[in-house]
Amino acid sequence: MLIVWRKLTGNLEKDNLMLDEWFEKYRISTRDFEYDTIYVNGSNNLPNLRKDDENWKVRRIEEEFHKRMWDVGGAA
């Protein structure tokens, strides 16, 4: 698992460019098997491969956090 937390500027194009450059600098690809899941804060343009019928490899931290905090699956 890889978690990428970045300071967002509010400019989606600039934020995505910086993220792409970071992945290139550290030679990380979403298409290889180095990490089974990659979590990134904010919107992104990373290539995203579906690993199975339900899970994507690249996931937004905010969405995953919300799902795990509030989707309790009937627990009482």
User: Could you read off the pLDDT of 11-66 as tens digits, one per residue?
Assistant: 999 999 999 999 999 999 999 889 999 999 999 999 888 877 767 899 999 999 99
Assess if residue 65 is contained within a domain.
yes
Q: Report the alpha-carbon distance of residue 27 to residue 17 in Å, rounded.
A: 15
Q: Which structural domain range is residue 22 located in?
A: 2-70
Assess if residue 32 is contained within a domain.
yes
pLDDT at 68: 87
Going 31 to 32 to 36 to 38, the CA torsion angle's sign is negative
| Domains of the chain: total | 1
What are the residues whose beta carbons fall under 8 Å from the beta carbon of 36, sequence distance 6 or more? 1, 51, 57
Assess if residue 75 is contained within a domain.
no
Assess if residue 66 is contained within a domain.
yes
Assess if residue 33 is contained within a domain.
yes
Assess if residue 76 is contained within a domain.
no
